[in-house]
Amino acid sequence: MASVTIGLLHPGEMGSVIGEVIRGAGTRVLWASEGRGNATRTRAEAAGLEDARTLAALVDQSRLILSVCPPHAAMDMARQVAAHHFTGVYLDANAVSPTTARAIGNLLEAAGARFVDGGIVGPPPKAPGTTRLYLSGKEAEQFGALFKAGFLEAIVLDGPPGAASALKVAYAAYTKGTAALLMAIRALAIKEGVDTVLQQEWSRSIPDLPARADAAIRGNARKAWRFVGEMEESAATFAAAGLPDGFSRAAATVYSRLAKYRDAKQPPSAAEITTALSKQ
């Protein structure tokens, strides 16, 4: 597998680290700078990725294409690759619903490619034991070993495309969903003047909750713009299964109201979160 050339779309905070992991195993990793910003270029260069310049050149040279992008862009990215008649294996590792994952797979396969569904659990893989890449589909086993290099653990599921995305949705519905709930609860308590008392009660009855609520603000507000689409995909997944979807839709609303903190130098305070979440 060391001779395989992989095209990475696109080296964001997660994708660039995964690209570096793959490159560290001796695999050539390409990215396409056309239409990308300086921040993406900086990450790609730091990860040692090779610039193919254009998507067309990346598709032409790659046997495997790995898509790691915000969920709202996943389908459009697949359409662009399909338009270039890619015939290798396309791994979509985005936080999309199983329905969206299968639609992406059908699109790519109709254009002549093969498809692997992926779901990433954990932060960018910079330390051992933190990050898993779940894979499903006929080609998953073939490429699973490639992603076990470095700190990224690949886990192949016994299931068709959609299984890895379903697992990711279920996991994120809790992690990102509860973070959104905690931020909304803090905002409510602040608006009603009972935040201090609430935290005192949490300290007595649920001792770890004050720290978790603070961590939700610190860890999620500046990334909230990325989670809107993910929670919308989560809601669609619950609805498709005939299950209540309101909590995921509410989480999407929380994150959409916090999207203005994208690229902020410092996380907002609880008071600022309250103002941002309050309906104008």
Residue showing tokens 């649920």? 206
Paired residues of 237 in beta bridges:
none
Shared domain for 223 and 269, answered yes or no, is yes
Shared domain for 230 and 138, answered yes or no, is no
What is the pTM for the complete model shown? 0.93
16 pLDDT band (50/70/90 cuts)? very high
- Separation of alpha carbons 92 and 15, rounded Å: 12
Read off the CATH number of the domain in which 42 is found.
3.40.50.720
Shared domain for 39 and 110, answered yes or no, is yes
Shared domain for 65 and 128, answered yes or no, is yes
pLDDT for the residue 149: 62
Domain residue limits at 29: 5-159
pLDDT for the residue 93: 97
- Separation of alpha carbons 154 and 250, rounded Å: 32
What would the pLDDT profile of 216-234 be if each residue is shown by its tens digit?
999 999 999 999 999 999 9
Residue 130 has pLDDT above 70, yes or no: yes
Shared domain for 124 and 91, answered yes or no, is yes
Shared domain for 11 and 61, answered yes or no, is yes
Question: When comparing pLDDT for 48 and 4, which is higher?
Answer: 48
Shared domain for 108 and 191, answered yes or no, is no
- CB-count burial class (<10 Å; 0-12, 13-18, 19+) for 258: buried
pLDDT for the residue 144: 75
Sequence letter at residue 34: E
pLDDT for the residue 24: 85
Number of domains in the chain: 2
Residue 28 sits at φ, ψ, to 5 deg, of: -75, 125
pLDDT for the residue 146: 74
Residue 2 has pLDDT above 70, yes or no: no
Domain limit, last residue, from 126, 142, 159: 159
Shared domain for 140 and 23, answered yes or no, is yes
Domain limit, last residue, from 159, 174, 202: 159
User: CB neighbours of 241 closer than 8 A, spacing ≥ 6?
Assistant: none
What would the pLDDT profile of 27-81 be if each residue is shown by its tens digit?
899 999 999 999 999 999 999 999 999 999 999 999 999 999 999 999 999 999 9
pLDDT for the residue 4: 86
Shared domain for 58 and 155, answered yes or no, is yes
pLDDT (mean) for 191-201 = 98
Residue 120 has pLDDT above 70, yes or no: yes
